[in-house]
Structure 1
Amino acid sequence: MGVAIRTAGAGDRELIVRLLDEAFQDDPVSGWVFPGTEERRAKHPGLMAAFTDIVLAAGRIDVTEDGSACALWLSVPADGGHDDPTGHGGATGHEDPTGHGGATEDEGPAQVREAVDPDNERIEMIGRLTAAIHPTGRAHAYLWMIGVAPGRQGEGLGTALIQTVLDRCDREALPAYLEASSARSRKLYERLGFEPVGPVLDLPDGPAMWPMWREPGPNRQPA
């Protein structure tokens, strides 16, 4: 049986935030941003809420009908965009999707930090470091985050969410890009046709992130 998927709207905000918080509590990068367990439990939901708000306004969130998994996508134009509030290169033609008064790409990570936890410089650092490695020059779909409820992982939900967009990318001859935050997720993305692009991002005193790129192909099938 196939996985039923729909596009999330504003009414799904709390569902998406809760799902991302649960899915990424034990992620290596989340652990680097919030090293202390209690701090992560308290402040990690705020970061997921900031990300959710950005993508609800400027991109697209796909969610399974049962609310067990979601994927956050941004459409990146060929020039990389100049009004991206995230610092991730994901401008989509919206002048100010965060409501921060026209944040530029340089200002975006600082504003996310200010909104979530002004004393935590790693919130801003992760935005700037990923922006620095983000490919430019070609329009592409950017998979910012994908989260699956801890009790539902391994059921193919993430693959189904991603493949839905990748099928469209193949039809439209559009590349796709992401940063894998764990060795496990990197293997999943490789099966879906993503390949490493550029150097690995080694976070200071932290884990690695793998930038990955997927060229479209009309007859491409998952490995």
Structure 2
Amino acid sequence: MAAIATLLTQSLADDPIAEWLVPDPTERRSVFQGVLAMEVDHAVDWGDVDVLLDMSGVAVWRRHPAEDAPVLSDHHLGTFTRGALPRFQQLSALLNGYRSDAPHHWLAWLYVARDRRGQGFGSALLARHHQVVDQLRLPADVVVTSENARDFLLFHGYVAGVPLRLPSGPRLWPLRRVNPRSARSDHVGRSQAGEPACGG
């Protein structure tokens, strides 16, 4: 799972939320390598992780509620975030305030490497798990960190909510997918999924 954490860490080089969380780029890489390794390991046991065969793309999903799943506490988070912990706590509080208590799946991360974009891989990763949530008759929620990611998900049947804003930080875009009939499949081959979803 370390390879997946590395892939996702690379995706955060210019991400506005990652920059807000950890302003120093060198420290940012170290912090997120640890945080993401922890999150991916947790999702492997208590959620779903879909990876392209060549490890160039990944989708990380969480299930809510995840009964019997251990809670990732501030102690766990503080192990990797060090001085950045207060901002990670602010992000977590914002996402928890938005997140529904009703059963749903949460898209924590969706990323396709830059040289693999535009070939439908982001769409394929989404479609794989959409089959799961559709069979369970559950919604899928996500919060993304860019307008490009928001527009990509809108095309795939998600509906945008009111933007969220961190204290003195950038905007976040919450989205929800409820009705599978609203999703279109003719965009495959032109996918630009490359902006990370926002973990939480």
Give 1 or 2: higher helix fraction. 2
Residue 160 (structure 2) pairs with residue 196 (structure 1): yes
Structure 2 counterpart SS, 1:142: strand
Query: Contact between 1:64 and 1:70, CA under 8 Å: does it hold in 2?
Result: yes
Please give the alpha-carbon distance, in whole angstroms, between the structure 2 residues aligned to 1:176 and 1:95: 19
Flag the 1:154–1:218 CA change in 2: closer, same or farther, 3 A. closer
Q: Decide which of 16, 37, 40 is 2:4's aligned counterpart.
A: 16
* Structure 2: runs of 5+ lacking an equivalent: 187-200
Structure 2 counterpart SS, 1:44: helix
TM-aligned CA deviation for residue 58 of structure 1: 1.3
How far does the alpha carbon of each residue in 1:131-183 deviate from its partner, in whole angstroms, 9 at most, with x for none? 1111223x212111112223323332111101111133233322111001111
Question: Size of the alignment, in residue pairs?
Answer: 185
Identity %: 26
TM-score when scaled to structure 2? 0.83
Structure 2 counterpart SS, 1:119: helix
Match of 2:122 in 1: 158
Flag the 1:189–1:64 CA change in 2: closer, same or farther, 3 A. same
The 5-angstrom pairing of residues 42-53 of structure 1 reads: 42-53=30-41
Please give the alpha-carbon distance, in whole angstroms, between the structure 2 residues aligned to 1:53 and 1:171: 25
TM-score when scaled to structure 1? 0.75
Flag the 1:26–1:134 CA change in 2: closer, same or farther, 3 A. same
Match of 2:90 in 1: 125
Q: Decide which of 11, 20, 34 is 2:22's aligned counterpart.
A: 34
Query: Contact between 2:156 and 2:183, CA under 8 Å: does it hold in 1?
Result: no
Query: Contact between 2:155 and 2:184, CA under 8 Å: does it hold in 1?
Result: no
The 5-angstrom pairing of residues 84-163 of structure 1 reads: 92-96=66-70, 103=71, 108-120=72-84, 121-137=86-102, 139-163=103-127
Query: Contact between 2:34 and 2:80, CA under 8 Å: does it hold in 1?
Result: yes
Query: Contact between 1:177 and 1:212, CA under 8 Å: does it hold in 2?
Result: yes
Please give the alpha-carbon distance, in whole angstroms, between the structure 1 residues aligned to 2:118 and 2:171: 23
Query: Contact between 1:68 and 1:148, CA under 8 Å: does it hold in 2?
Result: yes
TM-aligned CA deviation for residue 35 of structure 1: 1.0
Flag the 1:170–1:122 CA change in 2: closer, same or farther, 3 A. same
Q: Decide which of 122, 127, 139 is 1:175's aligned counterpart.
A: 139
Structure 2 counterpart SS, 1:66: coil
Question: Aligned partner of 2:67: which letter?
Answer: G
TM-aligned CA deviation for residue 195 of structure 1: 0.6
Match of 2:194 in 1: none
Please give the alpha-carbon distance, in whole angstroms, between the structure 1 residues aligned to 2:74 and 2:145: 22
